Amino acid sequence: MDEELRGFMKSFAQLAKLADQFQEHPKGQLLAPVLAEHLGVEPSEVPLVVENFGSHRLADANIVMDQLTGVDPHSRVIGLAGRERHHFDLGDLVGVQSGFGVLGEPSYTTLAVGPGKQQRFLSFGIHLFTTGQTPMAVLLRQANPEYGKSEASLEVLCADESLADSFLAAFREKLNTTSIYRGQVISFKPSEYSESNAGISFHQRDEIGGDQLILPAGLRERIEEQVLGIGTHREVLIAHGSHLKRGVLLYGPPGTGKTHTVRYLASAAKEHTVILLNGNTLSLVSQAASMARALQPSIVVLEDCDLIAEDRSFSHGPQPLLFEVLDSMDGLDPDADVSFVLTTNRVESLERALVQRPGRIDLAVHIPRPDFEGRKALLRLYGSELNLSKETLDTVAQLTEGTTASFTRELIRRAILAAAVAGVAVTDRYVRVVAAELMDDSATLTRSFLGGTGDPDPLEDQQDGESYGTFGWAPQTGSRSFGFIAEDASSSAGIPPSPDDD
């Protein structure tokens, strides 16, 4: 190296040193010395242990952390200032060369803990506490997908590595038994950053009595027995080696009451956690099954499941989401008190493997369009405030043959609206007039949109060789080509068929 270059390098080093002396240092107390005082060792010399968990478990993690740290009356929570805290883990923030870890106030976020209920929880803060005689520092951090952190986490610093492992083991165990979601009706809410990082929405549990679910005689009881009744015989079934998990498929034309049946089951299952999946949240079936396992007794509802479980012969290859559904149903432990309830308007398009294999679908139930007596019952239900005469009930029920429950509800709504526009009380005449208008040939398209199409349901007119089996419609060999039968749940659930089912 010549003298000129050597002189340049010397001058450059002096300039760099001078710049470092005059740079603006962080204002405030640094985190590293505070942790050193608490831990009794330099935090940069202690291995960092990280435990990740789902973003939707942040509230549960807070509750568990409060339980674990509450044994130390001197425990406290500190925070950090600056946006840098989101980019670096705790090891980076206390590194020898780090000036980013500057103390500040803990960060909090407000989370839903039930329908219409909210509570404040720690979203970024460091718990300082002592377990036994050993001090620990645990950073609780919420998920921040925009900063590359797709899951929430605990970051643990403790000089005793075995104690840190024991603490995290206790955290996992309590997290498996502690949840604000237990016994609630919930649905997943996809994140804008990742489908696997979902939030949770709470739903009010409807109060729906058996008289508000209009189905053919015995159908409601059969569904309820399979979804809710099996769990009541848990000990007997397990003692005899029978599994508790079960799958129920509700199928039929749009508007016949499949979703309403689900709402009834959620209402009747007061102690169950009900997880609803539909539309773009169907892809989260694996996460839903995992939650259902932890929060049992549970019901996982997949509405319009044909969207993810179409027969592979109609596509160019296997459906990944179908495999997730099958894996989720098969992967549950035999003693898991979990029901899968699937609904579809297009039973013929379902993948055969989904409905043929025992342990996946134990009961397939056809929800048909209501018959004459069913339509009268629906008119009485939705027109309960109108006091409709028997003559009107008979006339309108006869006129609206082939329509669905949703059509009847809309018919009553339109009659009430027509009377309101006219400025008079609702009478039977308005119900009859609106029914006639909706059933007129000129309203064919509107009627179709309302679930009142006159097209026959191919499953309603049973042909020779078809019959209702023990647990639902069961085409026999040589009948229709849907390619599946409703499994006899008595063979897998340990419940013998009733004589009335023959």
- List C-alpha distances in Å: 138 to 119, 176, 480: 22, 19, 62
Give tens-digit pLDDT for 13-26.
666 555 544 444 45
pLDDT at 281: 83
- Averaged pLDDT for residues 101-130: 93
Nearest Cα neighbor of 56 from 253, 284, 227 is 284
Residue 61 has pLDDT above 90, yes or no: yes
Give tens-digit pLDDT for 258-302.
999 999 999 999 999 999 998 878 878 888 888 898 898 999 999
Residue 57 has pLDDT above 80, yes or no: yes
Cis, bond preceding 458 (omega within 30 deg of 0): no
Residue 130 has pLDDT above 70, yes or no: yes
Cα–Cα dist 69/75, whole Å: 7
b (16+ CB within 10 A) / e for 94-132:
beeebebbbbbebbeeebbbeeeeeeebbbbbbbbbebe
Give tens-digit pLDDT for 382-414.
999 999 999 999 999 999 998 999 999 999 999
The boundaries of every CATH 3.40.50.300 domain in the chain are: 199-368+487-501
φ, ψ of residue 461 to 5 degrees: the values are -90, 95
Element (H, E) at 4: helix 3-22
Cα–Cα dist 321/302, whole Å: 12
Q: 10 Å Cβ neighbour count for 149?
A: 18
Higher pLDDT, 266 or 315: 266
Give tens-digit pLDDT for 326-344.
777 776 776 788 899 999 9
Confidence of residue 321 (pLDDT cuts 50, 70, 90): low
Dihedral class, residue 6 (left if φ above 0, else alpha if ψ from -120 to 50, else beta): alpha
Give tens-digit pLDDT for 449-500.
776 665 555 555 443 333 333 333 333 333 232 333 333 333 333 333 333 3
Nearest Cα neighbor of 448 from 409, 399, 413, 407 is 407
Higher pLDDT, 138 or 236: 138
pTM of the model: 0.75
Confidence of residue 58 (pLDDT cuts 50, 70, 90): very high
pLDDT at 313: 54
Cα–Cα dist 78/128, whole Å: 8
Question: Structure tokens of 191?
Answer: 């994140």
User: Are 44 and 95 a contacting pair, CB within 8 Å?
Assistant: yes
Any residues with CB less than 8 A from the CB of 335 and at least 6 apart, and which?
A: 234, 238, 243, 244
Query: Of the CATH numbers 1.20.1600.10, 1.20.1420.30, 1.10.8.60, 3.30.428.10, which one belongs to the domain with range 372-449?
Result: 1.10.8.60
Question: Structure tokens of 472?
Answer: 């639902």
The boundaries of every CATH 1.10.8.60 domain in the chain are: 372-449
User: Are 440 and 386 a contacting pair, CB within 8 Å?
Assistant: no
Question: Can you name the CATH fold of 199-368+487-501?
Answer: Rossmann fold (3.40.50)
pLDDT at 247: 85
**Percent of the chain residues topping a pLDDT of 70:** 76
Question: Structure tokens of 400?
Answer: 């609206």
Cα angle, residue 191 at apex, residues 189 and 192 outer, rounded to 5°:
130
Quote the mean pLDDT of the chain: 80
- List C-alpha distances in Å: 28 to 78, 98, 104: 13, 14, 8
